Amino acid sequence: MNRPVRERFAASLAMLLTVTLSAPALAQEDAAADSTQPGASYTLESTAGYFNTDRAYFAPGTAHWGEGFSRGRLQYRWPSGVQLAAGGVLMTTVGADYYDVADQNDGLLDQLSIAASDLGGTGLGITIGRQNIQLGDGFLISDGYLDNRAALWSIPLSFYDGVKLDWSRGTARATVFAAAYSPSFEGALGARPDGYVFGAEAGWMRSEGTELALAYLRRHDTSVIEDRAQAISLRGGWLSGPFALAGEAVLESGLRTGTDLAGEVMSLPSGRARGAGSPC
Protein backbone atom coordinates (compact mmCIF):
# COMPACT_ATOMS: atom_id res chain seq x y z
CA MET A 1 0.00 0.00 0.00
CA ASN A 2 1.53 3.36 -0.96
CA ARG A 3 2.06 5.91 1.77
CA PRO A 4 -0.82 8.35 1.04
CA VAL A 5 -3.32 5.50 0.85
CA ARG A 6 -1.86 3.90 3.99
CA GLU A 7 -2.05 7.13 5.98
CA ARG A 8 -5.61 7.94 4.92
CA PHE A 9 -6.71 4.38 5.60
CA ALA A 10 -5.14 4.47 9.06
CA ALA A 11 -6.98 7.71 9.85
CA SER A 12 -10.31 6.32 8.63
CA LEU A 13 -9.80 3.09 10.56
CA ALA A 14 -8.98 5.04 13.71
CA MET A 15 -12.29 6.90 13.36
CA LEU A 16 -14.23 3.66 12.99
CA LEU A 17 -12.49 2.00 15.92
CA THR A 18 -13.10 5.04 18.08
CA VAL A 19 -16.81 4.80 17.38
CA THR A 20 -16.82 1.14 18.37
CA LEU A 21 -14.51 1.28 21.38
CA SER A 22 -16.22 4.31 22.91
CA ALA A 23 -19.12 2.03 23.88
CA PRO A 24 -19.06 -0.25 26.95
CA ALA A 25 -17.41 -3.65 26.74
CA LEU A 26 -18.93 -6.20 24.36
CA ALA A 27 -20.18 -8.43 27.15
CA GLN A 28 -23.72 -7.73 25.97
CA GLU A 29 -23.11 -9.66 22.75
CA ASP A 30 -24.19 -12.98 24.25
CA ALA A 31 -27.32 -11.35 25.62
CA ALA A 32 -28.18 -9.97 22.18
CA ALA A 33 -27.81 -13.42 20.67
CA ASP A 34 -30.40 -14.78 23.14
CA SER A 35 -33.34 -12.77 21.85
CA THR A 36 -35.85 -14.71 23.96
CA GLN A 37 -34.95 -12.89 27.17
CA PRO A 38 -36.82 -9.63 28.05
CA GLY A 39 -34.78 -6.44 28.29
CA ALA A 40 -32.22 -4.56 26.25
CA SER A 41 -29.16 -5.98 24.50
CA TYR A 42 -26.66 -4.82 21.92
CA THR A 43 -23.79 -5.96 19.69
CA LEU A 44 -20.90 -3.94 18.27
CA GLU A 45 -18.26 -4.93 15.75
CA SER A 46 -15.53 -3.27 13.72
CA THR A 47 -13.23 -4.60 11.04
CA ALA A 48 -10.78 -3.49 8.36
CA GLY A 49 -9.13 -5.05 5.34
CA TYR A 50 -6.67 -4.35 2.54
CA PHE A 51 -7.18 -5.75 -0.96
CA ASN A 52 -4.96 -5.99 -4.00
CA THR A 53 -5.63 -7.33 -7.50
CA ASP A 54 -3.03 -7.67 -10.24
CA ARG A 55 -4.26 -8.61 -13.72
CA ALA A 56 -7.07 -10.75 -12.39
CA TYR A 57 -9.24 -12.41 -15.05
CA PHE A 58 -12.24 -10.30 -14.01
CA ALA A 59 -10.32 -7.02 -13.60
CA PRO A 60 -7.54 -6.10 -16.04
CA GLY A 61 -4.75 -4.00 -14.58
CA THR A 62 -4.02 -3.50 -10.91
CA ALA A 63 -6.00 -2.10 -8.01
CA HIS A 64 -5.26 -1.69 -4.32
CA TRP A 65 -7.54 -0.24 -1.68
CA GLY A 66 -8.52 -0.45 1.97
CA GLU A 67 -11.95 -0.89 3.56
CA GLY A 68 -13.29 -0.62 7.08
CA PHE A 69 -16.60 -0.54 8.86
CA SER A 70 -18.24 -0.40 12.27
CA ARG A 71 -21.68 -1.85 12.88
CA GLY A 72 -23.99 -1.69 15.89
CA ARG A 73 -27.20 -3.46 16.85
CA LEU A 74 -29.65 -2.57 19.62
CA GLN A 75 -32.59 -4.72 20.65
CA TYR A 76 -35.28 -4.38 23.29
CA ARG A 77 -37.68 -7.19 24.07
CA TRP A 78 -40.80 -6.88 26.21
CA PRO A 79 -42.10 -9.77 28.35
CA SER A 80 -45.02 -10.08 25.92
CA GLY A 81 -42.59 -11.24 23.22
CA VAL A 82 -42.63 -8.03 21.18
CA GLN A 83 -39.14 -6.97 20.09
CA LEU A 84 -37.81 -3.72 18.65
CA ALA A 85 -34.50 -3.86 16.75
CA ALA A 86 -32.40 -1.09 15.22
CA GLY A 87 -28.90 -0.95 13.78
CA GLY A 88 -26.59 0.91 11.48
CA VAL A 89 -23.17 0.88 9.86
CA LEU A 90 -20.36 3.37 9.21
CA MET A 91 -18.24 2.47 6.19
CA THR A 92 -15.11 3.82 4.53
CA THR A 93 -12.86 2.97 1.59
CA VAL A 94 -9.43 4.40 0.79
CA GLY A 95 -7.95 4.06 -2.69
CA ALA A 96 -9.84 2.74 -5.73
CA ASP A 97 -11.04 -0.83 -6.22
CA TYR A 98 -11.38 -2.46 -9.66
CA TYR A 99 -14.93 -1.08 -9.94
CA ASP A 100 -13.40 2.43 -9.58
CA VAL A 101 -15.19 2.92 -6.26
CA ALA A 102 -12.75 5.36 -4.64
CA ASP A 103 -12.46 7.09 -1.26
CA GLN A 104 -16.06 6.54 -0.21
CA ASN A 105 -17.48 7.25 3.24
CA ASP A 106 -21.03 6.29 4.06
CA GLY A 107 -23.46 5.62 6.88
CA LEU A 108 -26.59 3.54 6.62
CA LEU A 109 -29.45 2.35 8.81
CA ASP A 110 -29.55 -1.33 7.87
CA GLN A 111 -32.01 -2.59 10.49
CA LEU A 112 -35.20 -1.10 11.91
CA SER A 113 -37.97 -3.55 12.68
CA ILE A 114 -40.59 -4.56 15.18
CA ALA A 115 -41.44 -8.21 15.68
CA ALA A 116 -43.79 -10.38 17.69
CA SER A 117 -43.43 -14.14 18.18
CA ASP A 118 -45.85 -16.97 18.99
CA LEU A 119 -48.91 -14.76 18.81
CA GLY A 120 -51.63 -16.17 21.05
CA GLY A 121 -49.71 -19.42 21.38
CA THR A 122 -50.37 -20.24 17.73
CA GLY A 123 -46.71 -20.47 16.68
CA LEU A 124 -47.21 -17.46 14.37
CA GLY A 125 -44.68 -14.63 14.34
CA ILE A 126 -44.49 -11.38 12.38
CA THR A 127 -41.66 -8.96 11.58
CA ILE A 128 -42.29 -5.54 10.03
CA GLY A 129 -39.67 -3.10 8.74
CA ARG A 130 -36.06 -3.23 7.57
CA GLN A 131 -34.83 -6.79 8.07
CA ASN A 132 -32.94 -9.71 6.52
CA ILE A 133 -35.04 -12.32 4.70
CA GLN A 134 -33.57 -15.67 3.73
CA LEU A 135 -34.98 -19.01 2.64
CA GLY A 136 -32.77 -22.00 3.41
CA ASP A 137 -29.12 -21.31 2.65
CA GLY A 138 -30.03 -18.27 0.54
CA PHE A 139 -29.73 -19.87 -2.90
CA LEU A 140 -33.21 -18.61 -3.90
CA ILE A 141 -33.51 -15.43 -1.84
CA SER A 142 -31.22 -13.78 0.71
CA ASP A 143 -29.93 -10.47 -0.64
CA GLY A 144 -32.26 -7.49 -0.99
CA TYR A 145 -29.61 -4.76 -1.30
CA LEU A 146 -26.98 -4.28 -3.99
CA ASP A 147 -23.63 -3.29 -2.46
CA ASN A 148 -22.40 -0.57 -4.78
CA ARG A 149 -20.84 1.98 -2.45
CA ALA A 150 -18.42 2.02 0.45
CA ALA A 151 -16.98 -1.23 1.80
CA LEU A 152 -18.17 -3.31 -1.14
CA TRP A 153 -16.27 -6.41 -0.01
CA SER A 154 -16.12 -6.13 3.76
CA ILE A 155 -19.77 -5.68 4.68
CA PRO A 156 -22.27 -7.29 2.32
CA LEU A 157 -25.57 -5.55 3.10
CA SER A 158 -28.62 -7.70 2.46
CA PHE A 159 -31.68 -6.06 4.04
CA TYR A 160 -35.21 -5.78 2.71
CA ASP A 161 -37.94 -3.28 3.60
CA GLY A 162 -41.00 -5.43 4.09
CA VAL A 163 -43.08 -7.74 6.22
CA LYS A 164 -42.54 -11.41 7.04
CA LEU A 165 -44.78 -14.01 8.69
CA ASP A 166 -43.29 -17.17 10.19
CA TRP A 167 -45.22 -20.13 11.55
CA SER A 168 -44.07 -23.34 13.18
CA ARG A 169 -45.87 -26.18 14.90
CA GLY A 170 -44.01 -29.36 15.70
CA THR A 171 -42.00 -30.32 12.61
CA ALA A 172 -44.07 -28.12 10.25
CA ARG A 173 -42.73 -24.74 9.10
CA ALA A 174 -44.04 -21.94 6.86
CA THR A 175 -42.91 -18.45 5.83
CA VAL A 176 -44.66 -15.74 3.81
CA PHE A 177 -43.05 -12.39 2.96
CA ALA A 178 -43.40 -9.30 0.80
CA ALA A 179 -40.84 -6.53 0.36
CA ALA A 180 -40.04 -3.51 -1.78
CA TYR A 181 -37.69 -3.93 -4.76
CA SER A 182 -34.65 -2.02 -3.51
CA PRO A 183 -33.65 1.10 -5.51
CA SER A 184 -30.01 0.10 -4.91
CA PHE A 185 -30.31 -2.16 -7.99
CA GLU A 186 -30.73 0.84 -10.30
CA GLY A 187 -27.10 0.80 -11.47
CA ALA A 188 -27.07 -2.92 -12.27
CA LEU A 189 -30.45 -2.97 -14.02
CA GLY A 190 -30.09 0.30 -15.90
CA ALA A 191 -33.20 1.87 -14.36
CA ARG A 192 -34.68 2.51 -10.94
CA PRO A 193 -36.89 -0.43 -9.90
CA ASP A 194 -40.47 0.34 -8.91
CA GLY A 195 -42.07 -2.78 -7.57
CA TYR A 196 -41.92 -5.53 -5.03
CA VAL A 197 -40.88 -9.09 -4.38
CA PHE A 198 -42.97 -11.66 -2.54
CA GLY A 199 -42.84 -15.34 -1.79
CA ALA A 200 -43.79 -18.22 0.45
CA GLU A 201 -42.27 -21.45 1.65
CA ALA A 202 -43.75 -24.45 3.45
CA GLY A 203 -41.88 -27.46 4.68
CA TRP A 204 -40.92 -30.00 7.26
CA MET A 205 -37.95 -29.90 9.59
CA ARG A 206 -37.12 -32.88 11.76
CA SER A 207 -34.02 -31.23 13.17
CA GLU A 208 -31.45 -28.60 12.19
CA GLY A 209 -30.07 -29.67 8.80
CA THR A 210 -32.71 -32.35 8.12
CA GLU A 211 -35.56 -30.76 6.22
CA LEU A 212 -37.65 -30.63 3.05
CA ALA A 213 -39.32 -27.46 1.72
CA LEU A 214 -41.20 -26.13 -1.31
CA ALA A 215 -41.06 -22.39 -2.11
CA TYR A 216 -42.44 -19.86 -4.59
CA LEU A 217 -40.88 -16.45 -5.36
CA ARG A 218 -42.04 -13.66 -7.65
CA ARG A 219 -40.73 -10.20 -8.58
CA HIS A 220 -43.11 -7.60 -9.95
CA ASP A 221 -41.71 -4.36 -11.34
CA THR A 222 -43.66 -1.64 -13.13
CA SER A 223 -40.70 0.47 -14.31
CA VAL A 224 -39.00 0.16 -17.71
CA ILE A 225 -37.25 -2.96 -16.36
CA GLU A 226 -40.58 -4.83 -16.50
CA ASP A 227 -39.34 -7.58 -14.23
CA ARG A 228 -41.87 -10.44 -14.01
CA ALA A 229 -39.52 -13.18 -12.88
CA GLN A 230 -40.86 -16.07 -10.82
CA ALA A 231 -39.43 -19.30 -9.51
CA ILE A 232 -40.45 -22.52 -7.77
CA SER A 233 -37.91 -24.22 -5.55
CA LEU A 234 -37.63 -27.62 -3.94
CA ARG A 235 -34.83 -28.00 -1.42
CA GLY A 236 -33.85 -30.57 1.15
CA GLY A 237 -31.15 -31.54 3.54
CA TRP A 238 -30.09 -34.51 5.63
CA LEU A 239 -27.84 -34.49 8.66
CA SER A 240 -26.70 -37.57 10.54
CA GLY A 241 -23.82 -37.48 12.97
CA PRO A 242 -20.77 -36.04 11.19
CA PHE A 243 -22.35 -36.27 7.71
CA ALA A 244 -24.52 -33.70 5.91
CA LEU A 245 -26.11 -33.65 2.46
CA ALA A 246 -28.11 -30.79 0.90
CA GLY A 247 -29.40 -29.66 -2.49
CA GLU A 248 -31.92 -27.42 -4.22
CA ALA A 249 -33.62 -27.36 -7.63
CA VAL A 250 -35.25 -24.20 -9.02
CA LEU A 251 -37.60 -23.86 -12.00
CA GLU A 252 -37.60 -20.26 -13.26
CA SER A 253 -40.00 -18.51 -15.65
CA GLY A 254 -41.30 -15.05 -16.54
CA LEU A 255 -39.84 -12.05 -18.36
CA ARG A 256 -37.37 -9.25 -17.70
CA THR A 257 -37.12 -6.40 -20.24
CA GLY A 258 -38.59 -8.76 -22.83
CA THR A 259 -36.16 -11.63 -22.16
CA ASP A 260 -37.68 -15.05 -21.50
CA LEU A 261 -36.30 -16.40 -18.23
CA ALA A 262 -37.67 -19.92 -18.58
CA GLY A 263 -35.21 -22.56 -17.48
CA GLU A 264 -33.94 -24.76 -14.69
CA VAL A 265 -31.32 -23.91 -12.10
CA MET A 266 -29.70 -26.49 -9.89
CA SER A 267 -27.86 -26.05 -6.64
CA LEU A 268 -26.14 -29.39 -6.98
CA PRO A 269 -26.29 -31.70 -3.98
CA SER A 270 -23.36 -31.09 -1.70
CA GLY A 271 -22.07 -33.19 1.13
CA ARG A 272 -19.60 -32.71 3.93
CA ALA A 273 -18.25 -34.51 6.93
CA ARG A 274 -17.91 -32.66 10.20
CA GLY A 275 -14.69 -32.95 12.13
CA ALA A 276 -14.54 -35.17 15.16
CA GLY A 277 -15.97 -33.47 18.19
CA SER A 278 -17.78 -30.78 16.16
CA PRO A 279 -21.36 -30.01 17.16
CA CYS A 280 -24.07 -31.42 14.90
- 226 versus 153: the higher-pLDDT residue is 226
Given pLDDT bands bounded at 50, 70 and 90, which one contains residue 190?
A: confident
pLDDT at 213: 96
Q: What is the pTM of this model?
A: 0.78
- 133 versus 262: the higher-pLDDT residue is 133
pLDDT at 209: 83
Judged against a pLDDT cut of 80, whether residue 53 lies above it is answered with: yes
pLDDT at 155: 67
Judged against a pLDDT cut of 90, whether residue 172 lies above it is answered with: yes
Best CA proximity match to 145, nearest among 158, 131, 135? 158
Q: What is the DSSP letter of 175?
A: E
- 232 versus 61: the higher-pLDDT residue is 232
Q: What is the mean pLDDT of residues 34-50?
A: 85
CB-based burial label for 188 (10 Å; 0-12, 13-18, 19+): exposed
